[in-house]
Structure 1
Amino acid sequence: MNINLEEDDHSLEEVVITGYASSSGYRKASRSKPKRKKESYNLTVDSKQEGITTTRFVIKKKYTIKSNTDITTLEIDNFDMDATYSYYVAPELNENVFLTAKLGNWEQFDLLEGEANIYFEGSYAGKTNIDPHATTDSLMISLGTDPNIIVKRKPLKKFKRKSFYGNNRVVDLGYSIQLKNSKQNSIHLILEDRIPISQNKEIKVDNIKTNDANYDAKTGIMKWKLTIQPKTQLEKQFSYELKYPKNKRVNL
């Protein structure tokens, strides 16, 4: 199965998906008995007939399949699906920005289970796995990284200092995350980072400042849902204070 995605400069709301099957897969499908009458389907498929456990496609176009070791693919379906595009980055782990497409109402298209090729803006973007038996109401497809969105995570010098308070060492830490959108259109991006969570009573994390992030105190995860305009950049900051016994060593 090949999935072709094309970006719209005004709004990214449509995914074009083209399905393929091998010649052997078509012969296997053609042996299933139809349950419904023949009906007009599209320019590629003459009809689509569903059985109890199988789906039968009648291909309009005739193909010549040579007797050799090459793989012959036949287009058996071609349809459009609405999609919501979003970007994701967790710069503490990886400063690359990943693009994803969220497809809704995908169950009606009878997608085949297996590996799929992804094409975005006319270029090969990689592979993904489609699981039509999933119970989720949407299908997520990863489109790889986008080099046009730049993210840098740097420590803030004014917070990076150490001091002593009694028998404890106090470390103030702060970080700046800079994001730049070099694209011609605005983007929606989910940014995640984290505040350390102590599992030791002698080690405490205090004076947490997450600014406008959505912060989960149980997991330490901070999340920003951002809209970045074309050719603009913005910055997010956070800081915290770490206290621990001076005879202990903590990896920061």
Structure 2
Amino acid sequence: MTADHPPAFEPISAIELQSIKDSKIVAVSLYSSRAEVTRLYKFEVKTGQNQVNIAGLPNVLETESLRVEGRGAATIHDVTVSMAKGEHVATSSPKLVELLNKREKTASALARCEKALAALEQYLGSLAVQHLEVSKLDDMLGSYEATGARLDAKKAELTDALRAIDADVSAERAEIEVPHENDKLRIKAAIGVFAETAGSVEIALIYAVPYATWTAFYDIRVDMDTKDNAVTLIYKAAVQQNTGESWDDVPLQLETSTPTFGLGVPKLSPWNLSIQPTAYPTKAMRPQSMLMGRAAMPAPMARRRMSVFAASEAQEPEPEMAYLGAAVTSKGNVSATFRVPGLVTIPCDDEAHNFTIVELSLKTAMSWVTVPRLDAKTHLNARITNASEYTLLHGTASVYVDGSFISRSVVPAVSPQESFDCPLGLDPSIRITYHPVSKKLTQSGFYTKSANYVFAQRITVHNTKNVAVERLKVVDHIPASQNAQIEVKLVSPALTVPPDGGAGGSATTKGAAPRPQVVNVAKDVVAQWDGADEPDCEVEALGAERKVNWICAVQPQAKINLVLEWEVTVSPASAQVVGL
């Protein structure tokens, strides 16, 4: 080649692709308010520069999130995104024009046939006896019959032909008609691809779209006849999206993390105290007093620092294509990733579509609680331990006990190995009888008489089950004195009630934390101040509200009796006690 004959530039090969038709969604990562979609395109390139134009991407696509990854002997040069505007949408085609012309001709022929039949009938009705010879009557009727039959057959043939043409017209119009959702798919992406050799290339478009979300919900099934792992928790996800494109047969990955941008650790401003001057401040004083209430960081600097955070957050490292086949992982307290089994289809209809994530058999400790002074019913509760690797998100739960729907509950956010309480409704097989309280009054003292009231409350627990109840909590209370003239003493169970309202604890070694007081009442029955068995109880505060509970184990078909006895001393005896 010489300077007079420079080498010719190779023409740029243009490749036109329609996103829906020429690609497949190979991954969807769904967050609480957005989704990340990965589409895979396969096409042939020529040696040199290729311009790949992809049309039909969602209008809501977040352009700053678009990434392109490639496979093959090619290099991606540049990517531009634009909105298709003012494009002519085809409403006709040569085939449709031909069908409409054919329909018009057939409809005209049918109209002429119908007019001929009407004229034949009119002609026959206009004939009179004086106008027709009897010898010609037979010929005339035969001619009428033949003509009428021929016209009827032609009318039926034209009617069928018109019906068939109408069906072809409808089919052709459906073929060329732009689907409704295409109004939401008007984003274009232009990608420059340089290929060293001609051949097949794959590129993946990864982009984020809003209007997609998922929420967790649960079915909790309890088998009362099973002691170990009595609870089966079915972890489900409700997925909905209105992104403009349908997700057909896609692998779906559910993410529990929520991306945040520009979120930094807050900083405390100086907290200063001053004396309000009695006189109106002078002009010289005014700037200093105004500065005292200002924030430590000026607003422009705060905005600049936030923009730096936003920029650093936006520059996320691009994931490798290998993540498309990632397995289900759970990342403890921070975030979790769930892979919905198999392939799923989620149309663009903004309706909830439910999927099962996993079915878990969890460790459970059953307990029963009753407060018979207020209600003699027994409440059943399950203390469930999340022994799985899955992080449970906050969500509603439908509770089933022995196959029967009991109630709706709420599952809090629970990390692996963490426990939570699940109310299971009432258990009518545990019957509580709250007997009338007995009361005895005596007086003591020589100069100043004191009134001594002794109260006894009996509670009967009857277990009608065929299995033992291991942990039944019965809660009751005694009155608290609000006056120095009134002294309240708990007689049975023998729990200590200090005058200052705190409960007495068991003796402890020096430096050891005090232990809550526990009294053995009978076999498999202990008494304690309410709250003593809670993991976060404060021993010093136990007994302040004078609430007592018994922890009982009741054998099948057995009854136990609990007695709460207390003494109230009033001095002088003539004092009127309110609330006794």
TM-score calculated relative to the size of structure 2: 0.37
Q: Which runs of 5+ in 1 are unaligned?
A: 40-46
1:147 Cα deviation from its structure 2 partner: 0.7
Q: Which residue number corresponds to residue 88 of structure 1?
A: 369
What is the alpha-carbon distance in structure 2 between the residues aligned to residue 54 and residue 112 of structure 1? 9
Q: Which residue number corresponds to residue 341 of structure 2?
A: 59
Of residues 426, 435, 445, the one that matches 1:154 is 435
- Matched residue count: 242
1:29 is the counterpart of 2:259 = no
1:195 is the counterpart of 2:475 = no
1:250 is the counterpart of 2:466 = no
- Equivalent positions of 1:177-196 (< 5 A) are 177-188=459-470, 189-196=472-479
| Alignment CA distance shift 1:38-1:87 (3 Å) | farther
1:74 Cα deviation from its structure 2 partner: 1.8
Larger Cα Rg: Structure 1 or Structure 2?
A: 2
What is the alpha-carbon distance in structure 2 between the residues aligned to residue 181 and residue 190 of structure 1? 13
Per-residue CA distance 1:7-54 (angstroms, 9 max, x = gap) = 243625421000122121897937997996746xxxxxxx42458745
Q: Which residue number corresponds to residue 226 of structure 1?
A: 552
Q: Which residue number corresponds to residue 384 of structure 2?
A: 103
What is the alpha-carbon distance in structure 2 between the residues aligned to residue 106 and residue 232 of structure 1? 34
- Equivalent positions of 1:198-217 (< 5 A) are 198-206=481-489, 208-210=491-493, 212=521, 213-216=526-529
8 A contact 2:237–2:355 mirrored in 1: yes
Is the strand fraction higher in 1 or 2?
Answer: 1
What is the alpha-carbon distance in structure 2 between the residues aligned to residue 62 and residue 100 of structure 1? 36
CA RMSD of aligned residues (A): 3.5
8 A contact 1:2–1:119 mirrored in 2: no
What is the alpha-carbon distance in structure 1 between the residues aligned to residue 378 and residue 224 of structure 2? 19
Is the helix fraction higher in 1 or 2?
Answer: 2
What is the alpha-carbon distance in structure 1 between the residues aligned to residue 388 and residue 477 of structure 2? 36
What is the alpha-carbon distance in structure 2 between the residues aligned to residue 31 and residue 180 of structure 1? 46
Per-residue CA distance 1:110-144 (angstroms, 9 max, x = gap) = 11112222122112221222222689942111111
What is the alpha-carbon distance in structure 1 between the residues aligned to residue 369 and residue 323 of structure 2? 44
Between the two structures, name the one with larger relative contact order (CA 8 Å, sep ≥ 6): 1
| Alignment CA distance shift 1:82-1:163 (3 Å) | same
Q: Which residue number corresponds to residue 534 of structure 2?
A: none
Q: Which amino acid counterpart does residue 145 of structure 1 have in structure 2?
A: L
8 A contact 2:330–2:389 mirrored in 1: no
What is the alpha-carbon distance in structure 2 between the residues aligned to residue 119 and residue 222 of structure 1? 32
What is the alpha-carbon distance in structure 2 between the residues aligned to residue 146 and residue 114 of structure 1? 25
Of residues 207, 218, 221, the one that matches 1:2 is 218
What is the alpha-carbon distance in structure 2 between the residues aligned to residue 135 and residue 198 of structure 1? 46
Of residues 392, 404, 409, the one that matches 1:128 is 409
8 A contact 2:491–2:565 mirrored in 1: yes
Q: Which amino acid counterpart does residue 29 of structure 1 have in structure 2?
A: L
Moved more, 76-85 or 88-97: 88-97
Q: Which residue number corresponds to residue 43 of structure 1?
A: none
- Equivalent positions of 1:31-46 (< 5 A) are 38=325
What is the alpha-carbon distance in structure 1 between the residues aligned to residue 556 and residue 343 of structure 2? 44
Moved more, 168-177 or 24-33: 24-33
| Alignment CA distance shift 1:205-1:16 (3 Å) | same
| Alignment CA distance shift 1:31-1:242 (3 Å) | closer
1:163 Cα deviation from its structure 2 partner: 3.7
What is the alpha-carbon distance in structure 2 between the residues aligned to residue 36 and residue 62 of structure 1? 18
| Alignment CA distance shift 1:81-1:50 (3 Å) | closer
3-state SS of 2:435 partner: strand
What is the alpha-carbon distance in structure 1 between the residues aligned to residue 330 and residue 364 of structure 2? 26
Per-residue CA distance 1:77-107 (angstroms, 9 max, x = gap) = 2121111111112222332111111122457
Identity of aligned residues (%): 19
8 A contact 1:214–1:222 mirrored in 2: yes
8 A contact 1:192–1:222 mirrored in 2: yes
Moved more, 180-189 or 240-249: 240-249
Moved more, 15-24 or 87-96: 87-96
8 A contact 2:468–2:555 mirrored in 1: yes
Q: Which residue number corresponds to residue 48 of structure 1?
A: 328
Of residues 166, 170, 181, the one that matches 2:452 is 170
| Alignment CA distance shift 1:37-1:64 (3 Å) | closer
